[in-house]
Amino acid sequence: MKTLIFITLFLIFTIHVNGQNNFGSLSSNYTPTNSLYINPSSILDAKVWLDINLFGAGSYTNNNLVYLRDQRWYDITKDVIKDDIRLTEDDIGYNQGKNKYHAFNKSFATGPSAVWSQGNHAAAISTGARSYLGVRTLPEYAGNYIENGVQNYVLQHDIDYTVKNLKVAALGFGEIKGTYAYTFFKSRQHMFMGGISLSKLFSIGGGAMNIYDAQFFVDNDSLLPIAHLEADAMYTPNVDLNPKGGWGLDLGFTYQKMKGNARSYFPNSKKMGCNSMPYLYKLGVSIMDIGSLKFAEGDYLFSGYDFDNYDWYNYSNQDVNDDNFTTALQDAESAITQGQVRKQNKIRLPTFASVQFDYNLWASKIYVNATIVQGIPVPKRRFGIRHANSLSLTPRFESFFFDFAIPFSLYEYRYPQMGASVRLGPITIGTDKLWSWIKTHDIYGADIYVHVKIPLRYNPKCRSRMKSSRGSRSRDRSPTKCTI
């Protein structure tokens, strides 16, 4: 029953807090407060002069071990609202037989933010909070442990086991992000743009464990001989907002092939008559979330292990130290404050590289976008989270008042997902996992996101000029009197 409660609360909690990459709303030219999270240079040549974000939230969860049998999130959410949760332990399934297991969760909440784009320059200020959970290279037999337990599942006794390079990490932080982008080269139909974001991070909490090498034998339900263990672990016992949480960096470049002469084009500016110029396509490259979340001395606890030949008696009934659970094997380690990880107080951000291609299919209304996200592996002797990989293809319709997109994506390049995103005026709602909401099937995760914003389409100087221009055209079309 404890397993059921944990898994249910975990999945339900994450859908109420924030998307993996929000593919449906990520590439719209009318929502630069979203697109800067995939490429800071994307805020240039936005179709709004000022985009003000009031609030945003979402969550993405996926794994390849635990699932809910024959469910859909619409029914589950409806039951939660009515305080009538009908899930039982029989509704939880386990995907046994995989070589390696993984799990990934990203949750976010954005606060007041704004993007200004005019001429060759664009700038943004963003506020918000994010949390991540990542598990990598969980061995096959761990699936049986999680489903059946170790003590009573005698089929897994009298066996030698090995763990190599298992990484588990979780972190939460607030941030204030400043972004600047500049069009540094224009020639004929070509525009080249670059952007940079610098984030001040405020650490809230975190924990991580690296098991570099573990060799053990499950003798019976009370004895577990450990032949060798190399591992490091840390966590923050208290949730606390620390302004000395570190820094994050984003870098991005974008090339646009325009449908006119780019040299005389200045978006959202009085120059060139305040007109916009469509692009045929654009290609962006970026690297995001470079940096680490840092915790102050006294805010975290650490234990390091490197020992051989230890008999762990009564392992299934181990009394865990509530003040520091990482010391569970302290009797076997003579130098528990030392470890292999280089910086014990830091957890690396989920850094990723990305390539984005956006093609204008018809009348600057219908586009198709392709995006690759490649997580950067965490160095062996560092705590950190590897961002999930993904490949997406997203056709979309966009206008000032209405956007609609249908993203098709491959989580970790192999698990297909279909989503949908709708923006009506200032409100956007979407998901990268639409089927888990509307179709009854085995659910391995969930995703939902929402944004509320105020877009200002025209530079005020352009607005007055455009009114004057419309008045002139009206007078030109008015009938003239002839006198004989």
- What pLDDT digit, counting tens, does each position of 200-259 carry? 999 999 999 999 999 999 888 888 999 999 999 999 999 889 999 999 999 999 999 999
Mean pLDDT within 11-17: 37
Cα separation, 371 vs 394, in Å, equals: 8
pLDDT for 362 equals: 97
Mean pLDDT within 296-320: 89
Q: Helix or strand or coil: residue 312? A: strand
Cα separation, 48 vs 43, in Å, equals: 10
Reference 433, options 451, 420, 422; nearest CA is 420
Question: Token pair for residue 303?
Answer: 């234990």
Domain ranges of the chain: 2-474
Cα separation, 232 vs 306, in Å, equals: 9
Q: What is the pLDDT of residues 138-163, one digit of tens each?
A: 999 888 888 887 777 788 888 899 99
pLDDT for 265 equals: 93
Task: Check the CA dihedral 53-57-62-67 and report its sign.
Answer: negative
Q: 351 pLDDT exceeds 50?
A: yes
Reference 128, options 65, 60, 184, 201; nearest CA is 201
User: What does pTM read for this prediction?
Assistant: 0.90
Share of the chain above pLDDT 90, in %: 71
pLDDT for 20 equals: 52
Q: 40 pLDDT exceeds 90?
A: yes
Question: Token pair for residue 112?
Answer: 């007041």
Task: Read off the pLDDT band of 322 (50, 70, 90).
Answer: low
pLDDT for 484 equals: 31
Question: Token pair for residue 188?
Answer: 């004929």
Task: Read off the pLDDT band of 467 (50, 70, 90).
Answer: low
Q: 475 pLDDT exceeds 80?
A: no
Give the distance, in angstroms, between the CA of residue 466 and the centroid of all CA atoms in the same chain: 40
Reference 175, options 226, 273, 243, 258; nearest CA is 243
Q: 8 pLDDT exceeds 60?
A: no
Mean pLDDT within 353-372: 98
Cα separation, 232 vs 137, in Å, equals: 16
Cα separation, 298 vs 203, in Å, equals: 14
pLDDT for 6 equals: 39
Share of the chain above pLDDT 70, in %: 89
The distance in angstroms from the start CA to the end CA of the chain is 99
Q: Helix or strand or coil: residue 168? A: strand
Give the list of residues 6+ apart from residue 300 with CB closer than 8 angstroms, or none: 206, 234, 235, 236, 344, 345
Looking up tokens 């001040």 gives 200
Reference 408, options 441, 438, 370; nearest CA is 370
Burial grade of 85 (CB within 10 A; 0-12, 13-18, 19 or more) = exposed
Helix (H) or strand (E) run with residue 435 in it: helix 435-438
Cα separation, 287 vs 132, in Å, equals: 18
Q: Helix or strand or coil: residue 218? A: strand
pLDDT higher for 172 or 478?
A: 172
Cβ–Cβ contacts within 10 Å for residue 16, how many? 14
Cα separation, 135 vs 209, in Å, equals: 10
Cα separation, 352 vs 386, in Å, equals: 8
Cα separation, 267 vs 283, in Å, equals: 18
- What are the CA-CA distances from residue 367 to residues 45, 98, 109, 455 (Å)? 16, 38, 28, 20
Cα separation, 59 vs 48, in Å, equals: 27
Task: Read off the pLDDT band of 87 (50, 70, 90).
Answer: confident
Helix (H) or strand (E) run with residue 293 in it: strand 279-294
pLDDT for 153 equals: 75
Looking up tokens 């297991």 gives 101
317: amino acid identity, one letter: N
